[in-house]
């Protein structure tokens, strides 16, 4: 749980959504402190009165407006970050965990249990390059409740990284 000492002085607006990623969206308000807890004192200065908005937009949108002290993300950013993280975690677990890499090519046909993760990866790649703005396919894996698991794929680290990059951009444009 985040303490008052670890919190940052900014405003978070999350638009309502029916995306399966909805319960992960509030993590946005804690992600900079989670990523760099040692920098909380410096971050407090940069974040003073900043606005962070997470929209229900199906398009990939990650924008920083330093002169307005605003960062805007779409839910698509979080969806794709979770989908990429989950897919790569599943691939690692099934294909690489505990195995010595020999340099031999991997025959993906030997890993039928990866089909859902690979389909999710395909959906997320197509969404990232703008080939679709489809809602999350019902038959593909979705995030579960965070409180009930320590599975690394439940931690949307790629999304937290994207947010930190937006904030870094803001910092570059507001540094003295």
Residue by residue, pLDDT tens for the chain (176 residues) are 444 445 666 788 899 999 998 888 887 667 777 777 788 888 777 777 788 899 999 888 888 888 888 889 899 888 888 888 888 888 888 887 777 777 777 777 788 888 998 899 889 888 888 777 788 999 999 987 754 444 444 444 444 555 555 555 555 544 44
Please state the pTM of the whole predicted model. 0.72
Model pLDDT, residue 147: 46
**What is the 8-class DSSP label of residue 176?**
-
Strand partners, 11: 51
Q: Across the chain, which distance is largest between two alpha carbons, in Å?
A: 55
Model pLDDT, residue 9: 65
Q: Which of these, 160, 172, 14, 169, lies nearest to 77 by C-alpha position?
A: 160
CA 132 – CA 59 distance, rounded (Å): 9
**What is the 8-class DSSP label of residue 9?**
S
164 close to 36: Cβ distance less than 8 angstroms: yes
Report residue 176 as tokens: 């003295």
Residues 6+ apart with CB under 8 A from 110: none
Model pLDDT, residue 20: 92
What phi and psi values does residue 53 have, to the nearest 5 degrees? -120, 130
Report residue 17 as tokens: 């959504």
Torsion over CA: 31, 170, 166, 63 (sign): positive
CA 160 – CA 74 distance, rounded (Å): 13
Model pLDDT, residue 149: 41
Element (H, E) at 78: helix 75-91
């Amino acid at each position: 749980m985040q303490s008052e000492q670890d919190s940052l002085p900014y405003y978070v607006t999350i638009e309502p959504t029916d995306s399966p990623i909805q319960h992960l969206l509030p993590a946005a308000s804690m992600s900079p402190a989670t990523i760099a807890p040692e920098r909380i004192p410096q971050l407090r200065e940069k974040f003073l009165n900043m606005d962070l908005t997470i929209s229900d937009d199906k398009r990939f949108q990650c924008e920083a407006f330093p002169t307005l002290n605003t960062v805007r993300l779409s839910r698509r950013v979080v969806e794709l970050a979770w989908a990429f993280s989950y897919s790569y975690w599943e691939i690692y677990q099934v294909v690489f965990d505990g195995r010595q890499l020999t340099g031999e090519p991997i025959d993906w046909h030997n890993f039928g249990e990866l089909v859902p993760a690979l389909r999710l990866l395909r959906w997320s790649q197509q969404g990232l390059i703008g080939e679709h703005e489809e809602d999350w396919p019902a038959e593909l894996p979705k995030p579960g409740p965070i409180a009930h698991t320590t599975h690394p794929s439940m931690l949307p680290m790629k999304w937290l990284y994207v947010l930190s990059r937006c904030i870094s951009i803001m910092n570059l444009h507001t540094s003295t």
